[in-house]
């Protein structure tokens, strides 16, 4: 009797010690652990081995981590899920997974050295919907909470300040009158009515309406959008200059001289919506595909890009004078073809992930802001950012010397900044880490989807007129996809 109790006690104690020594210190977090509430093209979560600090990081860690995701589908005992693990090489991993059909009884098992970590497997009854499912929630405010969206969006409130109690029927006419220049501008008037999307486009180059369609359709599948109408500028340049009548135009890029309402760029948006799809560079993938840790990267400033702005040519001149500090090249001549002999030869493209073989990343404007900035931050580069009148939706939340190193618009202090970084490696590394942390907390797919949802939600509150579908508008249908929504939606198969 006594020995029995004793041996139970011993077993119990050894179980506790396994937990305390390892699995207890493995933390997991992220939207992918709420698969019922948070529907995304690729769901993801972070696995953090906190007891290993950066220096004790070993490449073997990845071999000791295993993740298995299983479920049932309505048709079979098996549910199609694709899992992808990204090693951030600092003792943390991003696990992302894509579900291809409605899954039930989903289990996420996380193993460390072949043992379940604490609380694993994580079980979800479901239904777990793939992103293509058209199963919108009814209440947008509840959905924003359920989806884990932040409660404060200062930039959105600021952008929308000039606009209140608008009658879009009037505004549209003014916008078309002022900005419809078929050769140089392209924009679409969108109407969202009963959660269906309609549009009318103006201009010669309207192919980019695909990006606006995609985000609107994606949101409408997740949550019932309020009736609203808006104008989305398809070009890179913002349109509404300060001093003119403030007309409401949504643009991918903002500038100091304009008051366009800024959305995440089409590039960042697509990489969120096509995650684990046809786009390979996104703010998650770049975190796991960077090969070298900071201390093994070369203390050199790296840049590749096309000739879309004079300062990019100037960058080549500066680099030639300081070859020990730079590895920069133009990859294409289009705007300055006549200068190819002087600034060429053009170099072949290299994988974006290889940029991070170097410590310092240069971010010089292209035609507008260089849309690579989110990926440079997420990859953990110390970004040397040229001062610019152009900005993306998140720049106003960044602080110089904390998240990036500022560089004058004419690049006159670029060499000085690189020399500073070489002499202050610790500080440079901290800035790079801060940038990466910022990306992790603000630029992942969940944040992008939330930003749009919040933006459109706030926008809809500022409209006064009754929203109507105009004659001749094109209906933008949801992609065809068969899906079992919970009973709340009766009209789901209408479009199939
Ligand atoms: C991992 O956990 C440690 C300790 O709690 C924390 O300092 C670190 O920021 C976490 N890493 C990430 C990427 O969240
Ligand atoms: C699936 O989940 C449901 C609801 O929790 C449960 O009743 C059922 O037994 C589960 N099926 C399997 C095979 O685990
Ligand atoms: C510049 O970078 C490329 C890509 O990493 C590399 O192949 C090349 O050797 C580098 N050039 C110099 C001069 O180091
Ligand atoms: C644009 O505005 C920002 C924020 O006020 C400022 O920091 C920056 O210097 C301005 N840049 C240019 C080129 O106008």
96-145: pLDDT as tens digits = 999 999 999 999 999 988 899 889 999 999 899 999 999 999 999 999 99
- What is the predicted pLDDT for the residue at 118? 87
Distance (Å) of CA 83 to CA 24, 30, 461:
24, 15, 39
Mean pLDDT, to the nearest integer, of 24-52? 89
404 located within any domain: yes
Q: What is the CA radius of gyration of the chain?
A: 25
- Assess if residue 243 is contained within a domain: yes
Q: What CA–CA distances, in Å, run from 154 to 16, 159, 165, 392?
A: 46, 9, 20, 14
Kindly state whether residues 371 and 398 are assigned to the same domain. yes
Q: Is residue 13 part of a domain?
A: no
Do 324 and 429 lie in a common domain? yes
Do 175 and 260 fall into the same domain? yes
**Residues 215 and 347 reside in one and the same domain:** no
Same domain? For 296 and 420 the reply is yes
Domain endpoint, select from 443, 465, 481? 443
Q: Decide if 370 is inside a domain.
A: yes
Residue 225 has pLDDT above 70, yes or no: yes
Pocket probe for ligand 1: among 92, 287, 430, the residue whose CB has the most ligand atoms within 8 Å is: 92
The pTM is what?
0.92
Question: Is pLDDT above 70 for 10?
Answer: no
On whether both 43 and 94 belong to a single domain, the answer is yes
Mean pLDDT for the chain? Answer: 90
Handedness of CA 485, 487, 490, 493 (dihedral sign): positive
5, pLDDT greater than 70: no
Name the more confident of 183 and 466.
466
Give residue 107 CA to ligand 3 midpoint distance, Å.
Answer: 45
258/301 same-domain check: no
The answer to the question of residue 11 being in a domain is: no
Kindly state whether residues 296 and 436 are assigned to the same domain: yes
Q: How far does the centroid of ligand 3 lie from the alpha carbon of residue 327, in Å?
A: 6
250 & 389 share domain? no
> What is the extent of the structural domain holding 311?
290-443
Sign of the CA dihedral with 117 first, then 120, 121, and 127 last: negative
- Residues 318, 368 within the same domain: yes
Banded model confidence at residue 59, pLDDT cuts 50, 70, 90: low
Question: Which residues contact residue 226 at a Cβ distance below 8 angstroms, ignoring those fewer than 6 apart?
Answer: 140, 192, 456, 457, 460, 461
C-beta 105 within 6 A of ligand 2: yes
Q: Are residues 185 and 234 in the same domain?
A: yes
If asked whether residues 355 and 481 sit together in one domain, one would say: no
What is the CA(197)–ligand 2 centre distance, in A?
37
Q: Check whether 62 has a pLDDT greater than 80.
A: no
**Domain end (from 98, 131, 164):** 131
Ligand nearest to the CA of 77: 2
Number of domains in the chain: 3
> Does residue 285 lie within any of the structural domains?
no
């Amino acid at each position: 009797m006594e020995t029995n109790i004793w041996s139970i006690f011993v077993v119990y104690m050894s179980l506790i010690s396994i937990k305390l020594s390892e699995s207890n210190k493995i933390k997991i977090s992220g939207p992918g652990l709420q698969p019922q509430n948070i529907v995304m093209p690729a769901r993801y979560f972070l696995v953090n081995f906190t007891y290993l600090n950066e220096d004790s990081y070993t490449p073997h860690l990845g071999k000791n981590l295993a993740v298995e995701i299983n479920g049932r589908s309505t048709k079979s005992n098996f549910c199609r899920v694709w899992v992808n693990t990204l090693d951030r090489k600092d003792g943390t991993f991003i696990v992302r997974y894509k579900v291809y059909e409605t899954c039930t009884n989903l289990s996420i098992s996380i193993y460390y050295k072949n043992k379940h970590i604490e609380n694993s497997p994580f079980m979800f009854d479901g239904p777990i919907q793939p992103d293509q499912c058209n199963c919108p929630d009814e209440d947008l405010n509840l959905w924003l909470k359920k989806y884990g969206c932040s409660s404060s969006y200062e930039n959105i409130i600021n952008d929308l300040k000039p606009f209140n109690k608008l009658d879009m029927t009037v505004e549209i006419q003014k916008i078309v009158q002022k900005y419809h220049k078929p050769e140089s501008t392209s924009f679409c008037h969108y109407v969202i009515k009963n959660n269906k999307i309609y549009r009318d486009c103006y201009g010669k180059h309207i192919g980019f309406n695909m990006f606006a369609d995609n985000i609107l359709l994606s949101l409408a599948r997740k949550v019932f959008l309020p009736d609203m109408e808006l104008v989305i500028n398809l070009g890179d340049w913002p349109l509404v200059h300060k001093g003119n009548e403030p007309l409401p135009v949504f643009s991918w890029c903002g500038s100091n001289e304009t008051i366009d309402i800024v959305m995440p760029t089409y590039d960042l948006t697509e990489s969120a919506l096509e995650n684990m799809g046809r786009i390979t560079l996104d703010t998650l993938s770049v975190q796991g595909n960077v090969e070298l840790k900071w201390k093994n990267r070369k203390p050199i400033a790296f840049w590749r890009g096309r000739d879309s702005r004079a300062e990019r040519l100037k960058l080549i001149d500066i680099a030639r004078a300081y070859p020990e500090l730079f590895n920069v090249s133009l990859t294409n001549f289009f705007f300055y073809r006549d200068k190819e002999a002087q600034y060429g030869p053009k170099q072949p493209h290299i994988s974006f992930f290889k940029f991070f073989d170097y410590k310092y990343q240069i971010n010089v404007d292209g035609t507008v802001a260089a849309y690579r900035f989110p990926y440079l931050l997420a990859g953990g580069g110390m970004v040397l950012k040229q001062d610019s009148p152009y900005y993306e939706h998140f720049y106003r939340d960044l602080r110089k010397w904390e998240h990036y190193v500022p560089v004058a618009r004419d690049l006159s202090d670029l060499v000085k900044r690189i020399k500073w970084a070489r002499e202050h490696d610790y500080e440079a590394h901290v800035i790079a880490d801060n940038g990466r942390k910022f990306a992790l907390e603000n630029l992942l797919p969940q944040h992008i989807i939330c930003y749009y949802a919040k933006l459109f939600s706030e926008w809809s509150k500022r409209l006064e007129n009754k929203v109507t579908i105009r004659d001749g508008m094109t209906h933008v249908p949801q992609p065809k996809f068969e899906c079992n929504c919970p009973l709340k939606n009766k009209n789901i198969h209408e479009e199939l």
